[in-house]
Amino acid sequence: MGEGKKQESLGRVIKGLSTLFENYGSVHLNFGQPLLISKFLARNSSDLTSKIEEEKENKKNLVKLGDTIVQSIASSRVILTTEIVSSLLLIKRRMSFKELLEEFDMIRKDLLRRKIKIGFKHIEDSTPEIQN
């Protein structure tokens, strides 16, 4: 079944490194603000006397922490135009090109109104841009 492992060599490593310099398209990488859990818990915890109340408070804090993390991730997300077009084509299989453009523009405007970043490429050049 399958091939045996090929012998590693310096030549194969150098040849493999050349793949790092090939063009694989655009990558959007965003880092949100760091979230220090110790500060989050200090801000959201209170003095409790009962063990049951403390467990309930811990669960509540965990849910708040999860919400904070998800909101942070969502706020740094870039939605690509290909994602929008793919979604439209999957949802509405029979649409004209004009309808596709109208739906796309409506979604684009809604995302920008909600301050969600959209990544797109101009046809004239190959430089990706992010629309805020």
Residue range 18-43: average pLDDT? Answer: 75
Residue range 22-42: average pLDDT? Answer: 74
User: What are the residues whose beta carbons fall under 8 Å from the beta carbon of 11, sequence distance 6 or more?
Assistant: none
Q: What percent of the chain has pLDDT over 90?
A: 14
The pLDDT of residue 46 is 56
pLDDT higher than threshold 70 for residue 108: yes
The DSSP line for 62-114 is: HHHHHHHHHHHHHHT-EEEHHHHHHHHHHH-SS--HHHHHHHHHHHHHHHHHT
pTM above 0.75, yes or no: no
Q: What is the mean pLDDT of the chain?
A: 77
